[in-house]
A and B are shown apart, each in its own frame.
Chain A
Amino acid sequence: MRIAVFLSFLLSLASAATTAAYASSAGEVNIYSSRKEDLIRPLLERFSEQTGVRVNLVTGKDDALIQRLVSEGANSPADLLITADAGRLHRAKAAGVLQPVDSATLVAAIPGAYRDPQNHWFGLSLRARPIWYVKDRVDPKALSSYADLADPRWKKRVCVRSSGNIYNQSMLAALIAHDGEEDAFTWAEGLVKNLARKPAGGDRDQIKAAAAGQCDLAIANTYYVGGMLTSADPADRAAAEKLTVFWPDQQGRGVHVNVSGVGLTAAARHKTDAVRLMEFLVSDEAQRWYAESNFEYPVKPGVPWNATLEGFGRFKADDLPMAKLGELNGAAVKLMDRAGWK
Chain B
Amino acid sequence: MRLAGRPSPWGLGVGALALVLALPVLVVVVNLAEPAGEVWTHLAETVLADYVINSLLLMGGVTAGTLSMGVTTAWLVAMCEFPGRRIFQWALLLPMAMPAYIIAYTYTGLLDVAGPVQTLLRDAFGWSWGDYWFPEVRSLPGAVAMLSLVLYPYVYLLARAAFLEQSAAALEAGRTLGAGPWRGFFTVALPLARPAVITGLSLALMETLADYGTVQYFGVDTFTTGIFRTWFGLGDATAAAQLAAVLLGFVFLLILLERWSRRQSRYHHGGARRRQVPFRLRGTRGGLAAGACLAPLAFGFLIPASQLAVWAWRTGPALVDARFLELMRNSLLLAVGAALMVLLLALIMAYGRRLRPSPLMHAAVNVAGLGYAVPGTVIAIGVMLPFAWLDNTVDGWARAQLGLSTGLLLSGTLFALLFAYAVRFLAVSLQTVEAGLGRIRPSMDDAARSLGRRPWQVLQEIHAPLLGGTLLTALLLVFVDVLKELPATLILRPFNFNTLAVRTYELATDERLADASGAALAIVLAGIVPVVLLSRAIARTGERHAT
Cα of A61 to Cα of B487 in the assembled complex, Å: 9
| With A17-B414, A232-B514, A338-B46 as contacts: A63 and B231 at CB distance below 8 Å | yes
Question: Given B219, B228, B389, which contacts A342 in the complex, CB threshold below 8 Å?
Answer: B219
**Mask for B367-389, Cβ within 8 A of A = 1, else 0?**
00000000001001100110011
Cα of A209 to Cα of B113 in the assembled complex, Å: 6
Cα of A85 to Cα of B445 in the assembled complex, Å: 61
A58 x B495 contact (CB < 8 A)? yes
A91 x B233 contact (CB < 8 A)? no
Residues of B within 8 A of A16 (CB): 414
Residues of B within 8 A of A329 (CB): 233, 235
B42 x A60 contact (CB < 8 A)? no
Shortest Cβ gap from A174 to chain B (Å)? 16
B384 x A68 contact (CB < 8 A)? yes
Pick from A5-13, A98-106, A140-148 the stretch touching chain B: A5-13
Q: Check if B130 is an interface residue, CB within 8 A of chain A.
A: yes
Q: Check if A334 is an interface residue, CB within 8 A of chain B.
A: yes
Q: Check if B250 is an interface residue, CB within 8 A of chain A.
A: no
B381 x A64 contact (CB < 8 A)? yes
B217 x A330 contact (CB < 8 A)? no
Q: Check if B535 is an interface residue, CB within 8 A of chain A.
A: no
Cα of A58 to Cα of B499 in the assembled complex, Å: 12
Most buried by A among B116, B395, B418, B512: B512
Residues of B within 8 A of A10 (CB): 337, 340-341
A-B pairs with beta carbons under 8 A, tally = 182
B381 x A21 contact (CB < 8 A)? no
A13 x B333 contact (CB < 8 A)? yes
Shortest Cβ gap from B242 to chain A (Å)? 17
Q: Check if B286 is an interface residue, CB within 8 A of chain A.
A: no
A75 x B407 contact (CB < 8 A)? yes
**Mask for A211-227, Cβ within 8 A of B = 1, else 0?**
11110000000001001
Which partner residue on chain B sits nearest A215 by CB separation?
Answer: B129
B495 x A73 contact (CB < 8 A)? no
B414 x A64 contact (CB < 8 A)? no
Shortest Cβ gap from A83 to chain B (Å)? 12
Pick from A108-116, A117-125, A194-202, A302-310 the stretch touching chain B: A194-202
**Mask for A46-74, Cβ within 8 A of B = 1, else 0?**
00000000001111111111011001111
Chain A 112-159 interface residues, beta-carbon cutoff 8 Å to B:
none
Cα of A329 to Cα of B234 in the assembled complex, Å: 7
Residues of B within 8 A of A232 (CB): 314-316, 514
Interface size on B, residues (CB 8 A): 74
Cα of A340 to Cα of B478 in the assembled complex, Å: 39
Cα of A329 to Cα of B11 in the assembled complex, Å: 49
Question: Given A18, A65, A204, A213, which contacts B511 in the complex, CB threshold below 8 Å?
Answer: A204
| With A37-B498, A64-B380, A73-B388 as contacts: A330 and B235 at CB distance below 8 Å | yes
Question: Given A14, A63, A72, A200, which contacts B415 in the complex, CB threshold below 8 Å?
Answer: A14
Cα of A209 to Cα of B108 in the assembled complex, Å: 12
Cα of A20 to Cα of B415 in the assembled complex, Å: 12
Which partner residue on chain B sits nearest A24 by CB separation?
Answer: B407
Shortest Cβ gap from B104 to chain A (Å)? 10
Shortest Cβ gap from B525 to chain A (Å)? 22
Residues of A within 8 A of B139 (CB): 198
Which partner residue on chain B sits nearest A233 by CB separation?
Answer: B514
Chain B 105-137 interface residues, beta-carbon cutoff 8 Å to A:
108, 112-114, 116, 118-119, 122, 128-130, 136
A213 x B130 contact (CB < 8 A)? yes
Residues of B within 8 A of A227 (CB): 511-512
Cα of A58 to Cα of B498 in the assembled complex, Å: 8
| With A14-B414, A227-B512, A337-B42 as contacts: A56 and B234 at CB distance below 8 Å | no
Shortest Cβ gap from A91 to chain B (Å)? 7
Residues of A within 8 A of B381 (CB): 64, 67
Q: Which 6 A-B pairs have the closest CB atoms?
A: A17-B414, A208-B114, A200-B219, A213-B129, A56-B495, A333-B233
Listed in ascending order, the chain A residues whose CB lies under 8 Å from chain B are 6, 9-10, 13-14, 16-18, 20-22, 30, 36-39, 56-65, 67-68, 71-77, 91, 162, 164, 169, 197-205, 208-209, 211-214, 224, 227, 231-233, 235, 239, 329-330, 333-334, 337-338, 342
**Apart from A6-B344, A77-B407, A338-B46, what 13 extra A-B contacts exist at CB < 8 Å?**
A18-B413, A20-B414, A58-B412, A59-B502, A64-B380, A164-B233, A200-B217, A202-B509, A208-B114, A209-B114, A211-B114, A330-B236, A334-B46
Task: Report 7 cross-chain contacts, Cβ distance below 8 Å, ordered by A residue.
Answer: A13-B337, A38-B507, A56-B495, A60-B491, A67-B381, A75-B391, A337-B46
